[in-house]
Chain A
Amino acid sequence: MSQSEPVAPWKRAVRSPQNLVSGLVLIAAAIVVVLMLGNLAQGTLRVIGPAMVPRWTAIAIGIGGAVLVVLSFIEDGDALERWHLRGPAFVLAGIVLFAATIREPGFIVAAPLAMLVAGFGSREVRPRELIVFALAMTVACALLFRFALNQPIPMLVLPSFSINV
């Protein structure tokens, strides 16, 4: 690029943005954990309370984060990587739908629904092929888990029609 944007001085001082951000996240997480443990007893060395191990682990993580932050100004490191959102977004949507529908109306609805949504996480998705695959997988998984392996997965639960398989 011939015309680069002017860079703020503090940005130039950061030699490893990846370490800076991860360090800051770790510190923040450590603080949240320590605050959450506020109402639990730490106990003594002889009788260790519920808060001791998680609290000191969190503090150690916070220190680790601080070291990362310092290092990010001293050592050259990697730039921030790009997050690709399409895959995670559709797959997560599929997972959430599965969780929401597995108990009622049950697997026969939850599985194809989740697969049809998750499938769009790929840029190369071919809807017709996906539908066939999702239906075939639903039948195969139902046979495998429910009937071959005897897992108590609800297949079809429709209380208003008093169906419970």
Chain B
Amino acid sequence: MELLQNLGHGFGIALSPTNILLCFAGCMLGTLIGVLPGIGPIATIAILLPLTFGLDPTAALIMLAGIYYGAQYGGSTASILLNIPGESSAVVTAIDGHEMARQGRAGIALGISAIGSFVAGTIATLVIAALAAPLAGIALIFGPAEYFALMLMGLAFAVLLARGSVLKAVVMILVGVLLSTVGPDLTTGQLRLTFGATWLADGIEIALLGMGLFGIAEVFRSLEHGEARQVRETHIGRLLPGPEELRASARPILRGTLLGSILGILPGNGAVLAPYASYTLEKKLARDPRRFGRGAIEGVAGPESANNAGAQTSFIPLLTLGIPPNAVMALMVGAMTIHGIVPGPQIMTKMPDLFWGLIASMWIGNLMLLVINLPAVGLWVKLLKVPYRLMFVGIVIFCCIGVYSINNEPADILIMGALAVFGYGLTKFGFEPAPLTLGFVLGRMMEENLRQALMISRGNPMTFVERPIAAVLILIAFAMLTVAVLPAIRKGRDEVFSE
């Protein structure tokens, strides 16, 4: 079995003492930052990105993956204990999870979410390993026209899944694309939209965008509330669920994993749907749906598994096609670029150590969350007691150091400040920064592929219709955009998100 051989190779890489240590450090630090109220995985990765700069690429990605899982887990912890979800996918966990916490079953909720995530992570790791090779094969027959069409489809999907106004989501993606054009032109090298400033001449770094829009801007938003978020004394209780609870959760975990694995693969942030889909499914299947919202363990087990499975399989489009499906993966692209790696189908063949090592470390990361982070939950609760008036100062200085260490360029810090004000303004006007980030990363790739596709077709735009794969992808993109503006679907979408 080639699959097992490859995975074995990966474990050989990931199980080296340094990499285990880095994976562990990533999980711990990711949880540490991710558990902070209101900080989702995007901000966590942006803030911790600089920690990986000194490492070699494989080690850096292993640590980043650890940070990512830690951030996810930290987000669930904050949702369950405080009812403050850091991001939309944790909203679902908060419904029944926090209710369980109020009934004194916080430990069980955290325990089942960790167990569910571990099961989901294990299965998703196998899914990635199994699907990666065939998908990368497909990627190789893709030309620029197909790539462009695929990215267009991803963006259309992101619009469909964005919260709030469809128009505003489209505008955000366009603004992201526009920001991606700042800097030198790809072929002629002419500077675009730099205001004549030398420090904009290289364009805007994605990590900068992440720290500004998600890190510092979130600080601005949180400072409005003051210390209202103080943590009350929470009783954790026992962590391990009993046989009864395990039996009730087993099927939801498996169903959630299946849903999450499938949705996560879709380009355009399908993973964000996974917890909602799982919650709705469990509620429909339950003998007594009224228990949901009142501390039903299935309402935690299912969505948490779905969330983790989706979080993991969303690596697939990135690793095989080089296309980040969501804002978190967009940051991963940024991180890879900083280490000189171009994501895409060639990674698997040219850098097998990195590829399989990363996949194996995903599983190890999930295991660590279960056996190390879960017992440490008391520590995270203590951390939540650090007053925000000090916590935000730490976040600010971390972002400053992080931005400076990318290029050793003080002007970058100022750009981050400007982006933070911009991000704060966006939320004040009802715009979401996540589609912008995705548009930003895809924008660069789309422009490149558009140019190449049209050069190959000698300027004939019909190439996107005449090539069958591209035509189908573009058709799907338009269908999704149409669906997004249909009133009936819009209503349903709003309900899903407001539930």
Residue ID in chain A nearest B431 by CB atoms: A22
| 16 chain-A/chain-B pairs, Cβ below 8 angstroms | A18-B429, A26-B171, A37-B192, A45-B460, A48-B450, A48-B451, A60-B174, A65-B171, A87-B223, A88-B424, A91-B219, A92-B421, A94-B396, A102-B400, A118-B397, A119-B390
Q: Which residues from B are CB-within-8-Å of A149?
A: 51, 53-54
B389 contact from A21, A57, A125, Cβ within 8 A: A125
A141 at the interface (CB under 8 A from B): yes
The number of residues on chain B lying at the interface, defined by a beta carbon within 8 Å of a beta carbon of chain A, is 65
Produce 1/0 per residue, A36-79, CB < 8 A to B.
11001000111111110110011011001101100100000110
Given A54-B181, A61-B178; A47-B193 close (CB under 8 Å): no
Produce 1/0 per residue, A91-133, CB < 8 A to B.
1101110111011000000010011001101111110011001
CA distance A80 to B193 in the complex (A): 30
B177 contact from A22, A53, A103, A124, Cβ within 8 A: A53
A153 contact from B388, B405, B421, Cβ within 8 A: B405
A103 contact from B53, B178, B410, B414, Cβ within 8 A: B410
Interface positions of B (Cβ within 8 A of A): 50-51, 53-54, 167-168, 170-171, 174-175, 177-178, 181, 185, 187-188, 190, 192-193, 195, 216, 219-220, 223-224, 226-227, 387-390, 392-394, 396-398, 400-401, 404-405, 408, 410-411, 413-414, 416-417, 420-421, 424, 428-431, 443, 447, 450-451, 454-455, 458-461
The number of residues on chain A lying at the interface, defined by a beta carbon within 8 Å of a beta carbon of chain B, is 71
Q: Is the CB of A151 within 8 A of B50?
A: yes
A99 contact from B167, B168, B414, Cβ within 8 A: B414
Q: Is the CB of A84 within 8 A of B224?
A: yes
Given A21-B429, A141-B401, A151-B405; A124-B174 close (CB under 8 Å): no
A156 at the interface (CB under 8 A from B): no
Q: Is the CB of A114 within 8 A of B397?
A: yes
CA distance A133 to B175 in the complex (A): 38
Min CB–CB distance B465 → chain A (angstroms): 14
Q: Which residues from B are CB-within-8-Å of A98?
A: 397, 400, 404, 413
A interface: dominant SS = helix
B393 contact from A53, A118, A150, A153, Cβ within 8 A: A118
Q: Which residues from A are CB-within-8-Å of B50?
A: 145, 151
Given A114-B396, A121-B392; A37-B429 close (CB under 8 Å): no
Min CB–CB distance B218 → chain A (angstroms): 11
Q: Which residues from A are CB-within-8-Å of B223?
A: 84, 86-88, 91, 121-122
Residue ID in chain A nearest B178 by CB atoms: A57
A152 at the interface (CB under 8 A from B): yes
CA distance A114 to B394 in the complex (A): 10
CA distance A84 to B170 in the complex (A): 27
Query: Max chain B CB contacts within 10 Å: which of A21, A60, A87, A95?
Result: A95
Given A95-B414, A153-B405; A46-B455 close (CB under 8 Å): yes
Q: Which residues from B are CB-within-8-Å of A57?
A: 174, 177-178, 181, 443
A161 at the interface (CB under 8 A from B): no
Other CB < 8 Å A-B pairs besides A22-B430, A119-B389, 4 of them?
A49-B185, A53-B447, A133-B393, A151-B405
Q: Which residues from B are CB-within-8-Å of A60?
A: 174
Min CB–CB distance A137 → chain B (angstroms): 6
CA distance A66 to B408 in the complex (A): 41
Q: Is the CB of B389 within 8 A of A122?
A: yes
CA distance A40 to B171 in the complex (A): 24
Q: Is the CB of A115 within 8 A of B51?
A: no
CA distance A115 to B76 in the complex (A): 29
Q: Is the CB of B397 within 8 A of A141?
A: yes
Q: Is the CB of B387 within 8 A of A124?
A: yes
CA distance A64 to B460 in the complex (A): 27
Q: Which residues from A are CB-within-8-Å of B396?
A: 91, 94-95, 114-115, 118
CA distance A99 to B409 in the complex (A): 9
A31 at the interface (CB under 8 A from B): no
Q: Is the CB of B175 within 8 A of A61?
A: yes
Query: Max chain B CB contacts within 10 Å: which of A25, A94, A122?
Result: A122
